[in-house]
Chain A
Amino acid sequence: MATAGEVFRRSLTETVGQVCDDSSSSSELHVLAVDDSLVDRKVIERLLKISSCKVTAVESGTRALQYLGLDGERASVGFNGLKVNLIMTDYSMPGMTGYELLKKIKESSVLREIPVVVMSSENILTRIDRCLEEGAEEFLLKPVKLDDVKRLKDFIMKGDGKDGGETRILKRKQLDGYASLSSPSPSVACDPSSPLMPSSSPSARSSKRAKLRNKD
């Protein structure tokens, strides 16, 4: 993953969330994937590599925090110098869940700018809501598809949240489609004529979710 030259490039005080500032690395995104399942780690690794991303895959939230330098011990000494542009984490993991990892990341002044995506094989609306409320960019249903990764990559490369809110809401609509027992309607998945306005503030998110519920 990290090449010989890309070791300690900055201290913890620098912002970690910027996308295009580093001239020594390529324009490749570096994604930290967190999943306790070896099979799933391998799959997500492949999906990301095919999408021209650098990948670091770890098996737990604890390992992820260690990698990010936030394990509370020897923080700056143990910190890996390769900046992380995106974190993709499984929800159900033993020990620290993906939700707990998400919280810890968003509570950290150093790491909170890194977009976090939560993945789960279970389409549980309260779970999805909780993650989105805590600041997850997106909630992906497993098995994750190449299209999901491509869309994520486009979103991150844009470097801002303009699309984030809309993507979140579109995904939420799509998940609503699955959750209701009728067959999922493909038209819901990508609706450019949607009246929903992109926004990432918590109150705006709540009112969007309320709107979605009323639509069901």
Chain B
Amino acid sequence: MDRNHLKRQVDFMKRSFLDQGYLDEQFIQLEELQDDDNPNFVEEIVTLFFNDSARLLQNIEQALVSGPIDFAKLDNYMHQFKGSSSSIGAKRVKDECTRFKEYCTAGNAEGCFRTFVQVKQEHATLRTKLETYFQLARQAGPPGTSRGQVR
């Protein structure tokens, strides 16, 4: 009973992330790659993403605040960040990246600064949401197993 309820909560949470555009279809695709031998694949990938992206965001921040702006370098960093966001289905983050890149291409420093704030915001929001999601998912257990079953 309890587990079913948790599973429903997990599904509901995921649905709402999709509906609100935090995540897109790619996240679902990744979940379909999980199996009994790799039940936490998505959480592992997402963790990797947040660790990796923290570094990239720092680089971008540095590039923005130190001296004259090198738009090509910024665009390059953002391209990498956008790529991995897209790979985990982080839709809102990815969309902000696109906006940022447009400002880069236009050589618009102010636009870059403004959009970067948004990028960081969406990134942080998603991180919190997914942390909660995975916590819940772990409690609910992998689909098909019953409570207390030893693997």
Chain A residues engaging chain B, CB cutoff 8 angstroms: 36-40, 42-43, 46-47, 50, 92, 121, 142-143, 145-146
B33–A46 CB distance below 8 A: yes
Residues on the B chain within 8 Å of A143, using CB: 26, 29, 86-87, 89
Pick 14 A–B contacts, CB within 8 A, sort by A.
A37-B52, A37-B87, A39-B45, A39-B48, A39-B52, A40-B87, A42-B48, A43-B45, A43-B87, A46-B41, A92-B79, A121-B79, A142-B83, A143-B26
Q: Which of A37, A47, A92, A145 is the one whose CB lies under 8 Å from B84?
A: A37
Shortest B39–chain A CB gap in Å is: 13
Could you tell me the dominant secondary structure of chain B's interface residues? Answer: helix
| Chain B neighbourhood of A40, CB < 8 A | 83-84, 87
Nearest A residue (CB) for B89:
A143
Report how far A38 CA is from B47 CA in the complex, Å. 12
Residues of B that sit less than 8 Å from A by CB: 26, 29-30, 32-33, 35, 38, 41, 44-45, 48-49, 52, 79-80, 82-84, 86-89
Instruction: With both chains docked as a complex, state the minimum distance between the C-beta of A84 and any C-beta of chain B, in angstroms.
Output: 23
- Taken together as a complex, chains A and B put the C-alpha atoms of A92 and B32 apart, in Å, by 27
Chain B residues with Cβ under 8 A from A37's Cβ? 52, 80, 83-84, 87
Query: How many A-B contacts are there with CB distance less than 8 Å?
Result: 48
Shortest distance between the CB of A33 and any CB in chain B (Å): 13
**B32→A146 contact, CB < 8 A:** yes
Contacts of A47 in B (CB 8 A): 33
CB distance from B36 to the nearest CB of A (A): 12
Given A39-B88, A50-B33, 20 more A-B residue pairs with CB atoms under 8 Å apart are: A37-B84, A37-B87, A38-B48, A38-B52, A39-B84, A39-B87, A42-B45, A42-B48, A43-B30, A46-B33, A47-B33, A50-B35, A121-B79, A143-B26, A143-B29, A143-B86, A143-B87, A145-B29, A146-B29, A146-B32
Residue of B nearest to A42 (CB): B45
- Complex formed: what's the CA distance from A177 to B88 in Å? 24
Closest chain-A Cβ to B4's Cβ sits at a distance in Å of: 27
> Which B-chain residue is minimally distant from A144 (CB atoms)?
B87
Cβ contacts under 8 Å, A36 to chain B: 80
CB distance from B34 to the nearest CB of A (A): 9
Chain B residues, Cβ within 8 Å of A121: 79, 82-83, 86
- If the complex has contacts A38-B52, A39-B87, are A146 and B45 also in contact, measured as CB distance less than 8 A? no
Query: Contacts of B32 on A, CB cut-off 8 Å?
Result: 146
CB distance from A28 to the nearest CB of B (A): 16
* Residues of the B chain whose Cβ atoms lie less than 8 Å from the Cβ of A146: 29, 32-33
Nearest CB on B from A208, distance (A): 29
Q: How far is the CB of A45 from chain B (nearest CB, A)?
A: 10
Closest B residue to A39 using CB positions: B84
Bound-state Cα–Cα, A47 to B41, Å: 11
- How far in angstroms is the closest Cβ of chain B from A35? 9
Chain B minimum-CB-distance residue to A147: B29
The closest CB in chain A to the CB of B44 belongs to A42
- Measured between beta carbons, the chain B residues less than 8 angstroms from A42 are 44-45, 48
Residues of B within 8 A of A50 (CB): 33, 35
Evaluate contact between B86 and A142: CB separation under 8 angstroms.
yes
